Amino acid sequence: MQTNEILIPGVMNDEMIRHARGELPYEACGIIAGVAGKKAVKFYPARNELKSETRYNIAPEDLYSILMELEKKGLDVWGIFHSHPSSPAYPSATDIKQSYYPDSYYLIVSFLNPNKPELRVFKIDGEEVAEMVVIICQP
């Protein structure tokens, strides 16, 4: 496995897409718990408090309860998920400006083609955006 490859369980991919589809036309968001730098364990959907088609902010009370649960389970914030209802699965200028977690992955699902949602994953460090190679794994 190359260092830029990451594994996403197929079930989790389906959960993220289902959550994001349910939030349309707004952007959806959530947190992926896991072991830092290793594997993704669980997807936690959250509310986008902005209810916006082009921006998101994880509702603070959702973020708080998710972080408490991660703490209890000894898991890290592995990734930060959001959707792009009508733009490509690439970080927007706002996404880059507001990426405060260089150690987390940024997962974006695009519904540009609603019949074929596309997941792409990035590391964002300052202005630097690096795309990861996503491998959807089946158990």
How many chain residues touch Zn ion (CB under 5 A)?
2
CA distances in angstroms from 92 to 30, 34, 56, 84, 138, listed in the order given: 17, 25, 11, 9, 30
The residue from 21, 41, 92, 96 that contacts Zn ion (CB under 5 A) is: 92
Instruction: State yes or no: residue 76 binds Zn ion (CB under 5 A).
Output: no
Distance CA 36, CA 57 (A): 22
User: What is the per-residue DSSP string for 113-124?
Assistant: STTS-EEEEEEE
Chain position carrying tokens 């209802």: 85
Nearer to Zn ion, 65 or 86 (CB): 86
Q: Which of 23, 76, 95, 105 binds Zn ion (CB under 5 A)?
A: 95
Closer residue to Zn ion, CB minimum distance, 71 or 131: 131
Which burial class, exposed, middle or buried, applies to 82 when counting CB atoms under 10 A from its CB (0-12, 13-18, 19+)? buried
Interface stretch with Zn ion, choices 39-47, 61-69, 90-98, 120-128 (CB under 5 A): 90-98
Residue nearest to Zn ion (CB): 95
Binding stretches for Zn ion (CB under 5 A): 92, 95
